[in-house]
Structure 1
Amino acid sequence: MITFLTILLGLAMLGTLGVLLAGVLGMAGGRGNSRRSNLLMRWRIGLQFLALVIFGILLLAMRH
């Protein structure tokens, strides 16, 4: 169970990093599509929330 949660946490963190980099590169490229930026921001926040929830569950699982 702990191994599965650790893998899920790593995937959520990598997903967050990927969306963050996509947003930064999109802004740096000067394309400036505000709809795409807002969509990426929502995805990043959702993935960060998911990573925090998984992290909390992982901590609770390791306590027992």
Structure 2
Amino acid sequence: SIWRRRRKILVPAFSPKIVENFVDVFSEQSEKLVQLLRSCANVGNFSVWPFISTYTLDSVC
């Protein structure tokens, strides 16, 4: 199936060793995201999408 082929291609990128290398990056970027969201906490309603998209790009690029 198409999903099996795609999964076979992607699985090596998410091996435990590869993911372990990203733990520090994810932690650092998560802390930055939390600080940004805290600064907006008393502003009222706001869209988290820009924050999440930036976090995602900064974490994987």
TM over 0.5: no
Of structures 1 and 2, the one scoring higher in RCO (CA 8 A, sep 6+) is: 1
Q: TM-score range by the shorter chain?
A: 0.3 to 0.5
TM (norm. structure 1) is 0.38
TM (norm. structure 2) is 0.39
